[in-house]
Amino acid sequence: MERDSLAFTPAVELAQLLKAKELSPVELVDLFLKRIEDLNPKLNAYLTVTSEEAREAARKAEKAFQQEEELPPLFGIPISIKDLFLTRGIRTTNGSITDANCVPNEDALSVERLRKAGVIILGKTNSPEFGMSATTENRLGDFCRNPWNTERVSGGSSGGSAAAVAAGMGPLSLGSDGGGSIRIPSCFCGVYGIKPTNGLVPSAIWGGMPLFSAFGPITRTVADAALMLNCIAGPDSRATYCVRETPPDYLKALASKDDVKKLRIAWSPDLNYAATDPEVISVAKTAAHSFEEFGCSVEEASPGIWDAYPTAWKPLAWTDEYLVHADALENQPDKLVGYIKSYLEYGKSVTGAQYAAALHEMWDLQKRMLNFFDKYDLLLTPTLATTAFPGKNIDLTKENPHLTVYPSVIGGKKVHSHWGFKPLTPLFNMTGQPAATVPCGFSSDGLPIGLQIIGRRKEDATVLQASAVFEEAHPWADKRPPVS
């Protein structure tokens, strides 16, 4: 197999090649490290590359394969980790100069599980400071660029992870999603990303937005995401919050795609509130109605719940972030990105009454979404309101630098300076539901467009099955961005 093709081979197939000894883990790691060396200067997808550690792990893996031991499912597979997750012995910056030299002595729970599954860590991927932005820029260097057009943003906050997977700088990446941070960059970069049901992948030894955050895969294929989810999902007594039921085998669930034929699907171009680019709506609508070809019923419908969503978000999200990052605000305020400092100061100022009122609004949103899903099995929307827009190295000491980057008008309508391009993702963090983005086409200027697939809480298997059915009919993994 050609080296370039190998870089874009799904992890499921790589695992089979390694097990059959048709591929050396040393060769595989060297391939990806060379691609990172060549492409990272153009993209800034990795903040830290663990070349020596990865090569040593690959040599050990090669010996294990030769001994024909029973090995874990991701043994010898290279992976990148978003730089918000603690990684034992590997620099973890949180996308901030406040932690630029931090080397933890323990792993986040998800990382611990991935190590047990046999992965080889290539490095840590770029994130905005504390993951608190929908584009990936920080004071550590250049902004993370999009492989489809390096003058465009990659999205955030898992921007480095999505850019790395899209550009063939590693087959898998671990991301986090507190308001769209897996789905936004996956959509902009044309790869698959799923935010699992909140708590399905438990949180321990990791901070930030515990009410909203979920942890999950960014991959090129649905099967790769299912395999990775198998390794990181499931309860843990150390977790502050987790789903206690043992999850199904998600990879095996993909074999039951016939279940998709029975699904009742709601399609909404804008959830009755979002200004969305007409070209994005057109491409996503065609993708949504393609489920009728699979035997599903598809009708336009929306839960229509914008009224409480934005007012509840701010006090809940930024207060929780303040609890995690209070030390940085109090002791290193001059090192913080300007807008992060203002978010944390706002979180500090929220009163108990304001926080309680926001909680009640969130619970009402959850109730109304549960009622909506009494009638429907899935909800489909465009993932984002627009395609990746031009980026630049903004002055991060200022309070609102995104005003010079984020779109102010979408679909001919003026939009909110921060919510405008991503109005359709954060809602499902508040309701806790699984939500994935599948690449469903391209804009007239060659940028990826995504379809968001949302399911009932704890029915992640259904979201994966629907994603796989769409992928089989409209494959995307063979499409490579120009930078690659």
User: What is the predicted pLDDT for the residue at 203?
Assistant: 84
Which pLDDT tens digit goes with each residue over 260-275?
Answer: 999 999 999 999 999 9
Q: Are 224 and 172 in contact (CB under 8 A)?
A: yes
How do the residues of the chain divide into helix, strand and coil, expressed in percent and rounded to 5?
40, 15, 40
User: Is 282 a residue whose pLDDT tops 70?
Assistant: yes
Q: Say which residues have a Cβ less than 8 Å from residue 400's Cβ, sequence separation at least 6.
A: 338, 339, 417
Please tell me the distance from the alpha carbon of residue 484 to that of residue 481, in angstroms, as a whole number.
Answer: 6
Contacts of 342 (CB under 8 A, 6+ apart): 399
**Mean pLDDT of the 119-145 span:** 97
Task: List 438's β-bridge partners, or say none.
Answer: 451
Give mean pLDDT, residues 342-363. Answer: 96
Single pTM value for the model: 0.97
Least trusted range by pLDDT, from 148-152, 235-239, 263-267: 235-239
pLDDT at residue 136 in the model: 97
Checking if the pLDDT of 210 tops 90, the result is no
pLDDT band at 138 (very low <50, low <70, confident <90, very high): very high
pLDDT at 404 over 90: no
- Which residues are CB-neighbours of 192 under 8 A, at least 6 positions away? 186, 217, 218, 219, 220, 221, 222, 224, 225, 436, 437, 438, 439, 467, 471, 476
Residue 424: the pLDDT is 95
Residue 206 pLDDT greater than 70, yes or no: no
Q: How confident is the model at residue 303 (pLDDT cuts 50, 70, 90)?
A: very high
Only one residue has tokens 């499921």, namely 12
For residue 47, give the 3-state DSSP assignment. Answer: strand
Q: Which residues contact 112 (CB under 8 A, 6 or more apart)?
A: none
| Beta-carbon contacts of residue 347 (< 8 Å; ≥ 6 apart) | 315, 317, 318, 319, 320, 321, 322, 323
In this structure, are strands 145-146 and 149-153 parallel, antiparallel, or unpaired?
Answer: antiparallel
C-alpha–C-alpha distance, residues 276 and 265, integer Å: 20
What is the per-residue pLDDT across 19-77, written as a single tens digit (0 to 9) for each?
Answer: 999 999 999 999 999 999 999 999 999 999 999 999 999 999 999 999 977 899 999 99
Burial pattern 420-457, b for ≥16 Cβ within 10 A else e, equals bbbbbbbbbbbbbbbbbbbbbbbbeeebbbbbbbbbbb
Omega before residue 158 within 30° of 0, cis: no
- Whether the pLDDT of residue 240 is over 60: the answer is yes
Mean pLDDT, rounded, for 372-386: 98
Query: What phi and psi, each to the nearest 5 degrees, are found at residue 453?
Result: -115, 115
Section 284-309 average pLDDT: 91
pLDDT in the model for residue 318: 94
Average pLDDT, integer, range 228-244 = 93
Looking at 112-126, 200-214, 346-360, 435-449, which range is the least confident one?
A: 200-214
Active site residues: 82, 157, 181
- For 143: left if phi > 0, alpha if psi spans -120 to 50, otherwise beta; the answer is beta
Average pLDDT over residues 175-189: 97
| CA separation for the pair 479, 263 (Å, rounded) | 29
- pLDDT above 60: residue 8: yes
- Domain spans, the chain: 3-473
Mean pLDDT to the nearest integer, 140-164 = 98
- Degrees to nearest 5, angle at CA 405 with 403 and 407: 85
Closest of 283, 244, 220, 257 to residue 446, by C-alpha? 283
Contact assessment for residue 314 and residue 132, using Cβ atoms and an 8 Å cutoff = no
Q: Which fold has domain 3-473?
A: Amidase signature (AS) enzymes (3.90.1300)
Handedness of CA 190, 195, 196, 197 (dihedral sign): negative
Residues 74-88 have pLDDT tens digits of 999 999 999 999 999
CA angle, corner 117, sides to 113 and 119, nearest 5?
Answer: 100
d(CA 475, CA 385): 22
Query: Cα(351)–Cα(384) distance, rounded to whole angstroms?
Result: 32
Angle between helices 51-66 and 25-43 (to 10 degrees): 160
Average pLDDT across the chain, whole number? 95
CB 87 within 8 A of CB 111: yes
What does the angle CA 194 – CA 196 – CA 199 come to, to the nearest 5 degrees? 155
363-384: average pLDDT: 96
Which token pair is 43?
A: 């993209």
Q: In what order do the strands lie in the sheet with 448-455?
A: 46-49, 120-125, 78-82, 172-177, 214-219, 192-195, 435-442, 448-455, 378-382, 264-267, 297-300
424-478 pLDDT, tens per residue? 999 999 999 999 999 999 999 999 999 999 999 999 999 999 999 999 999 999 9
How many CA atoms within 13 Å lie on the side-chain side of 95?
33
Residue 447 and residue 439 in contact, taking contact as beta carbons nearer than 8 Å: no
Residue 208: pLDDT band with limits 50, 70, 90 = low
> What is the predicted pLDDT for the residue at 307?
64
> How large is the angle between the packed helices 309-331 and 338-349, nearest 10 degrees?
110
